[in-house]
Chain A
Amino acid sequence: MTTPLVRIRDLQVDYTRRRRHVPAVRGVDLDIAPGEIVAVVGESGSGKTTIANTIIGLLPENARTRGGSVEVAGPDGPVEVVGAKEPDLRALRGSVVGLVPQDPMVGLNPTQRIGAQVGEAVRLRGVKGDAVADAVQTYLKQAGIDDPELRARQYPHELSGGLRQRVLIAIALAGEPRLIIADEPTSALDVTVQATILDHLESLVRKSGTSLLIITHDLAVAADRADQVVVLSEGKVVERGAPDEILVAPEDPYTRRLIAAAPGLAHGGRIEPRHELADTDVATSDPVIRLEGVSKSYPLPGGAGTFAALDDVSLQVAKGRTHALVGESGSGKTTTLRIALGLEQPDSGRVVLKGTDITGKGWRQTRPLRRTVQIVHQNPYASLDPRFTIGQTIAEPLVSFKVGDRRSRAARVAELLDQVSLPASYAERLPAELSGGQRQRVAIARALTLEPEVVLLDEPVSALDVSVQEQILDLLAELQERLGLSYLFISHDLAVVAQVAHTVSVMSRGRVVESGAVSSVFGAPQSEHTRALIDAIPGRISARRREVVHA
């Protein structure tokens, strides 16, 4: 075997938090061969990003490498990164190890043109003059950007998330590194964009012989592309091997849990809806909430006409069922939700809540009815007031609607905490003391405080780790059964939708392109758009690959 590009032995890294040392990486060994694609999989806090940051010498200030060795093959032989001085590390960055960071929306300097930002990386290789601009075009094109000349002159805010991620890939390519680290490179993007970008990155490195280190929490994403998968848990490697071996015969219970939690992997890449519903049962006579021919448009900046956010959208949520709304960002999911909640008025069409038309009615008039509709937001880190205790947060709707006194409110809080499987003692805690999954439980409890009939769920699990997602989805299903709730569930992830929804509407550019029972829409998709969404589910590639192997 050739000498590895990166050779990690017994790496140990601590973080100092409030004067305490918290171990993040505890004795990890890892080799990356030239041209190899390695995926490190684990939940947040498993230490996977710390490993990546160690390789590129960009650990945060409160991190301390306690032991071990990380050798990176520099131009003049291996360089020991642990304990290295800044100039030595800088010589590796960009030219030997490139980085594609996690969130494309904030990964680019907002006040510098795209061309300048890519050009900077080109210049660091010693390229000068006109050659820089040419090289910038080449890398942008390589990263899959169609109109590199135009894009180079634009600022980051003028580009979509997918394009920005491609720019970040171009920046990494511009250093002509031997290894590219992709740290959760697409988790902030739409599924369909995610798939194309990862495919593109993979084909790029395969063609040029560059090594790729994918850092991800999604085993399915890893399995689809990597030569070697390393599963990390609490700073230790619990399993490693070729993706097919790991998926077929996982040895560690943690890996098994990850596989079970990845909806795309669990059923061999096929979507298996949890709820079967005959097409004849889709429509009900008394839906809890109904949107009829709703349209909404917004003026474009600079008076350049209007943008149709919603165009003749109709849907209904049946009592005790879950209706899912799927589509990419910008397809109108959130606008639909805001109109259903009465936060915005439609230009035309009606919103009927429990048989009452609430369109055009004032906030005050519909307030009593509004108790029956509650919402759970996407990001549990942003939706809870950091200065409110959990108890205050959950009790706030009661205070706002003047229900009960202090004692009855406290009792209700305890009851709700129990319903979402949190200890009653959590009422005294602050959000900062809770994990993401626990916070989302609190957000769900808050939505349930006023005993609503409909809960609007806006991507309730997309900010969470895969294994936590599973738990929250189970909780939602259990609450639905116990309390007879109806859900309007917004998601871009079809695998998640299949797990929870009875019926579904697929949206694209403000229109509903397909709708019906989940089993029939996903089983026999009629529109191009639905098919693209289904193809983008991670895990399908490896599942298909395995079928070929086993056939």
Chain B
Amino acid sequence: MKRYVLSRLAQAVGVLFAAFTVTFAVLYLLPSDPVALQLGAAGIETDKLTDTQLEAAKAQYGLDRPVAEQYLSTLGGFVSGDLGTSIAKQQPVAGLIGDRLGPTISLSLAAGALSLLVGTGLAYLASYVRWRPARLVLSRLPSLGASFPQFFIGLVAIQLFAFQLGWLPATGSRGPESLLLPAVTISVLTSSLLAQVLMRSFDETLSQPYVVTARAKGLSRAAVQWRHGFRNAILPAMTILGLLVGLTVTSAIVVETVFARNGVGKLAQESVLSQDVPVVLAIVTLAAAIFVLVNLVVDLLYPLLDPRIVQLPRKVAVR
């Protein structure tokens, strides 16, 4: 067990490091001139500078050093908690993100909880209901939900609930009522994906021979589904949990823009537009870190839910 935890931890660190490196490489080794790009973000037009001024500007942002050195110092900074300085805003990146983190975290948590609840509930219901028409409708809902783009759902939601009905605020990040529309907008997609995977998984689980054993004991269908179906059915769905959380983070960029919420997603959008490389690097790394963390939690939860898992990695080849 200890070995299992350690190996998963090492894997998580490795993935995070790789994510940082790839992002750095993409941002700094682009075919364009990274120096001009970043100085442009600071409002300096490289064309109009004299050579000396250019050198001075480069030196000011540490862009005159070789890429490898920049990479190492940035990596060192990240490890020690210093995320660098925004070129466009001339502020520490950590502070910038920190200010915007609150609304995004509450949005992600709300959207995540909603997706889990709705996605699981829908799948559970769809596999329990016997009446064919209801079953058909329930089982088709996820494909419908997954097929609308998020900005569209967001705009329709604003139009309907904010402008027409006036129940909820259209924009802003103040108070729990401002959270509802964006969270619902995100979770339409994520809960649909979860429900789709879970429905298949339920179908498969409930056709397993051990379900026949359980029914032959005299258990009711409800008891069979709850005690023998549920836990076995969520196992395959666990793997997409990390993916869903990652999706929530990326969805935040679109949804925060649509709802004018002042979160990290909006910051990411602004930074990309203003080509503020240090901020983009920090946000992508942060997203990767969250993704890695969720997957780590899922991996560590697995053996608690599935007793077979710890024995699996080193299987003896005996039939």
Contacts and interface: CB of A to CB of B under 8 A. Distances in A.
B209 A107 contact: yes
Given A93-B215, A102-B209, A124-B219, A109 B228 contact: yes
Contacts of B213: 99, 101, 107-109, 117, 168, 171
Given A109-B228, A168-B213, A94 B218 contact: yes
Interface in B258-317: 305-308, 311, 314-317
A120 B214 contact: yes
Interface in B210-245: 210, 212-221, 227-228, 231-232, 235
Interface stretch (A300-308, A317-325, A423-431): A300-308
Contacts of B220: 90
B319 interface: yes
Contacts of A102: 209
Interface in A258-313: 298-302, 307, 309
Contacts of B308: 110, 155, 157
B30 interface: no
B208 interface: yes
A92 B217 CA distance: 9
Nearest to A110: B308
Interface residues of A, number: 44
A121 B215 CA distance: 10
Interface string A117-154: 10011001000000000000000000000000000000
A124 B218 CA distance: 7
B314 A107 contact: no
B302 to A, nearest CB: 11
Contacts of B215: 58, 93
Contacts of A110: 210, 232, 306-308
Interface in A371-399: none
B139 to A, nearest CB: 15
A307 B319 CA distance: 13
A45 interface: no
A174 B216 CA distance: 12
B209 A101 contact: yes
Nearest to A124: B218
A174 B217 CA distance: 9
A95 interface: yes
B6 interface: no
Interface string B85-103: 0000000000000000000
A301 B209 contact: no
Contacts of A172: 216
Nearest to B311: A301
Contacts of B319: 329-330, 334
Interface residues of B, number: 29
Given A58-B216, A157-B307, A108 B316 contact: no
A106 B218 contact: no
Contacts of B219: 90, 94, 120, 124
A457 interface: no
B307 A155 contact: yes
B318 interface: yes
A196 interface: no
A98 B213 CA distance: 9
A111 B216 contact: no
A112 B311 CA distance: 16
Contact of A86 (B212, B216, B221, B314): B221
A232 interface: no
A90 to B, nearest CB: 6
B194 to A, nearest CB: 20
Contacts of B221: 86
A101 B227 contact: no
Contact of B318 (A92, A155, A298, A302): A298
B307 A111 contact: yes
Nearest to A90: B218
Given A109-B210, A111-B232, A307-B318, A94 B311 contact: no
A110 B217 CA distance: 17
B307 A101 contact: no
A302 B227 contact: no
A202 interface: no
A116 to B, nearest CB: 9
A175 B318 contact: no
A531 to B, nearest CB: 25
A107 B210 contact: yes
A56 interface: yes
Contacts of A309: 317-318
B209 A56 contact: no
Contacts of A302: 314
A103 interface: yes
A304 B187 CA distance: 47
A102 B215 CA distance: 15
A99 B212 contact: yes
Contacts of B317: 298, 309, 335
Nearest to A334: B319
Interface centre among B215, B218, B305, B311 (most CB of A within 10 A): B218
Contacts of B212: 58, 99, 101, 107
B305 to A, nearest CB: 7
Nearest to B1: A302
Contacts of A157: 307-308, 311
Contact of A109 (B214, B311, B316): B214
Contacts of A98: 216
A175 B219 CA distance: 11
Contact of B231 (A95, A108, A111, A300): A111
A175 B218 contact: yes
Contacts of A307: 316, 318
A35 B137 CA distance: 49
Contacts of A168: 213
Contact of B314 (A93, A94, A174, A299): A299
Nearest to B208: A106
Contacts of A90: 218-220
A515 to B, nearest CB: 22
Interface string B163-197: 00000000000000000000000000000000000
Given A111-B232, A120-B219, A172-B216, 19 more contacts: A58-B212, A58-B215, A90-B220, A94-B219, A95-B218, A99-B212, A101-B212, A101-B213, A101-B216, A110-B306, A117-B213, A157-B307, A174-B217, A301-B316, A302-B314, A309-B317, A329-B319, A334-B319, A335-B318
Q: What are the 7 closest A-B residue pairs judged by CB atoms, nearest first?
A: A94-B218, A99-B216, A93-B218, A155-B307, A121-B217, A94-B217, A106-B209
Interface of A: 56, 58, 86, 90-95, 97-99, 101-103, 106-112, 117, 120-121, 124, 155, 157, 168, 171-172, 174-175, 298-302, 307, 309, 329-330, 334-335
